[in-house]
Amino acid sequence: MPPLPLSRSGRFPKAHRPFFLAACLYAALSVPLWVAEWAGLLPGCSGCDPVARHAHEMLLGFAGAVLGGYLFTKISHARLAFALAAWLAARIGAWTGIGGWAGLVLALAYPITLFVLGGWPFLKAAKWGHNMVFAPTIAAFALAEGLYQAGRLGLLEAGERRGVLTAFDLVALMILVMGGRVIPAGMAGLVRQEDARELFDRNRPWLEAVVVAGMAAQILSDALALPPFGALVVAGVAGLMRQARWRPKLALGDASLGPLQVGYSLLAVGLIAATASDLLGIGPGTDALHLATIGGMGVVTATMMLRIDTIRERRQDAGWPRTAILAAVLLVGAADLRIAAPLAPEVLIPAAMTLWSMAFALVGWRLARGWKSP
């Protein structure tokens, strides 16, 4: 993976600031709104699948904002404002129930902008074959949005579910592949610092190829509404096999790499557990899937926002923010409570919501506090 790009002071705006802050605020506020709808305290969406809309906003809304903050590094102020407006318009459209072709245009504007301003430059900058996976993955977010909106318009059977499952697959693929570049690179330095030994054979390119193949097969399966056939298990197992080479125990005391390792493993285990739940009939796969979404995606995105912000604000000398550890603890607790929610949903779902919102409110506070400091 190419080195993490840095914004050039004076020439380009620091796009990670508005997008990361928007992601944190949206994560902290949208889940309580969804729980209030679920509890009957607020009216639900009209003419939509409320569960699918919740997943849609977490994946294409929250995760989409995190991805924008990562990708938009060398764009003008005008383009940044347009991208942020497109993201915000899509969120307003989702919550206010704007439907029809107007809703379709609002929804598709941001994922298309994400590719044009972020994915296309990434494609041109990729010099090695194993980096070519990122651009088509970013482009496919527009496909996921299109499937979801086609379902809302009544043009595609089960389109909403197909769209959100495809979006989940895409986010999982991005994290599994990007984590496979960021984590072992960081661990190599940590290992040398601890015991002066190299982290040999840490990348295992063939295992990354298995991860990509498994997730690509699942993307195709979910987009076409095919029955589950274990592709997520293949990707999850391959991801865990890769991680076994990254000295995960050594990372637990590190404020940046420890949460990343935990989130990566929870994502991989969640993929396996969700498929096992569906295939073996031991419970709804959506419950197990929260291990991958809240525990895996939540921990990784929270940590990566703090990590990227530290790099781009050039604060590495001060050390990685330990906020990531507390946020990870809160999110793992939220995942545990949400998985156990069928036992007492009226208590455990609001409890999980509270921990989730606390985690991202904390991350947003830490980011904003750092921007005020010299």
SS3 label, residue 40? coil
pLDDT at position 281:
60
Distance (Å, whole) CA 313 – CA 369: 12
Helices 63-71 and 16-38, packing angle to 10 deg: 180
Which range has the worst mean pLDDT, 61-70, 111-120, 122-131, 307-316? 122-131
Taking the mean position of all CA atoms in its chain, how far away is CA 291? 13
247 Rama class: left (phi>0) / alpha (psi -120 to 50) / beta: left
CA–CA distances in Å: residue 297 to residues 136, 139, 291, 293, 331: 20, 20, 9, 5, 10
Sign of the dihedral defined by the CA atoms of residues 267, 258, 132, 138, in that order: positive
Residues 113-128, mean pLDDT to the nearest whole number = 80
Residues 89-103, mean pLDDT to the nearest whole number = 89
b/e per residue, 270-286, with b = 16+ CB within 10 A? bbbbbbbbbeeeeeebe
pLDDT band at 43 (very low <50, low <70, confident <90, very high): confident
- Looking at the predicted structure, is the pLDDT value of residue 90 above 80? yes
Q: pLDDT tens, 262-314?
A: 999 999 999 999 888 777 665 555 677 899 999 999 999 999 999 999 999 98
Taking the mean position of all CA atoms in its chain, how far away is CA 149? 20
Q: pLDDT tens, 171-187?
A: 999 999 999 989 998 88
- Looking at the predicted structure, is the pLDDT value of residue 201 above 60? no
Residues 327-356, mean pLDDT to the nearest whole number = 96
Burial of 368 (0-12, 13-18, 19+ CB in 10 A): middle
Sign of the dihedral defined by the CA atoms of residues 258, 260, 263, 267, in that order: negative
Residues 35-39, mean pLDDT to the nearest whole number = 93
Residues 134-150, mean pLDDT to the nearest whole number = 95
pLDDT band at 4 (very low <50, low <70, confident <90, very high): very low
Mean pLDDT value across the chain: 89
pLDDT band at 199 (very low <50, low <70, confident <90, very high): low
pLDDT band at 125 (very low <50, low <70, confident <90, very high): low
**Residue 83 CB: number of other CB atoms within 10 A?**
25
- Looking at the predicted structure, is the pLDDT value of residue 8 above 50? no
Beta strands in the chain (DSSP E): none
CATH 1.20.210.10 fits 16-41+50-366, yes or no: yes
Distance (Å, whole) CA 5 – CA 125: 11
State the DSSP H helix or E strand holding residue 219, giving kind and residue range, or none if neither: helix 205-223
pTM: 0.92
pLDDT band at 337 (very low <50, low <70, confident <90, very high): very high
- Helix spans in 117-247 (H): 120-125, 134-152, 159-195, 205-223, 231-243
pLDDT at position 120:
83
SS3 label, residue 140? helix
- Looking at the predicted structure, is the pLDDT value of residue 7 above 50? no
Between residues 329 and 129, the one the model is more confident about: 329
- Looking at the predicted structure, is the pLDDT value of residue 15 above 70? yes
pLDDT at position 34:
94
pLDDT at position 45:
78
Q: pLDDT tens, 202-259?
A: 667 889 999 999 999 999 999 999 987 889 999 999 999 999 989 898 898 888 899 9
pLDDT at position 219:
97
pLDDT at position 279:
73
| The most confident of 94-98, 199-203, 338-342, by mean pLDDT | 338-342
Sign of the dihedral defined by the CA atoms of residues 44, 96, 66, 147, in that order: positive
pLDDT band at 10 (very low <50, low <70, confident <90, very high): low
